[in-house]
Amino acid sequence: MSIQNETAALNVKPFATDLEYLTAELAWVHARTRRIEASQLTLEQDPVLARVQSGRIRAVYTDATASMAGQLAREEETIRQEIDARLALNRADGPGLGLDRLCLEHGLGQFERAALLLATIPCLGYPMMESHVMPLRPRYSSTTIDAGIVSLFLELDMKGGLEGLLSLLPDAPLRKAGLVALTYEPRTPASVLDAGFELTGKTLAAITGIPGFAGFADPDLLPDVD
């Protein structure tokens, strides 16, 4: 069955704008983050609950948390399937989307694409950070995204997480093309985990379809003014 027939059967339409697509992806990010949080609670019992004498209460809590994780997993998958079906139409017949163009132009992989998507969240304000990012790392207080957050979100294994750090090398596409700016220059692989990164103005302009964001320029790239 062709892409057009498959998506028609689902009664979906291509995304009309970059912002419409971004809104859908952010709904998926929220659902995935909630599912990851619930799954972690299932695996790691609350220390307070562990001191409860009643095994029945502990069992009920564990069952409820596992049930919630399952429900959230289904919600996450439903959202993802609809996004992918709509994306297939955009890629087949247009209109093209900014995030897709960036990934194709610079040869970005899964880690880099997720990094750019998650790095749009700080641009939307603290409430979005609190609901979409911080549940992945409860004590996280930065308003930037880092490699560790991306790895947690993608649920990468050790090899995947280590390879993800390479995406922030100076000659890697994200930085060589000026797609992100780091809070400081890491000198060792371990320090990359603490180096937050943000979208540059031109990247946010491409992802949102709002050209004005390109007006935000890295001061280091501006000419000196006498």
Torsion angle of C-alpha atoms 16, 19, 21, 26, degrees rounded to 10: -160
Which residues partner with 197 through β-bridges?
Answer: 145, 182
Per residue in 59-83, pLDDT (tens digit) is 444 445 567 778 889 999 999 999 9
Contact 168, 147 (CB under 8 A): yes
The whole model's pTM is what?
0.83
Reduced to 3 states (helix: H, G, I; strand: E, B; else coil), residue 198 is: strand
Per residue in 96-129, pLDDT (tens digit) is 999 999 999 999 999 999 999 999 999 999 889 9
Whose CA is closest to 92, among 1, 4, 218?
4
* Cα dist from 138 to 75, 133, 216, whole Å: 22, 9, 31
- Average pLDDT value for the chain: 85
Q: Which helix (H) or strand (E) holds 182?
A: strand 180-182
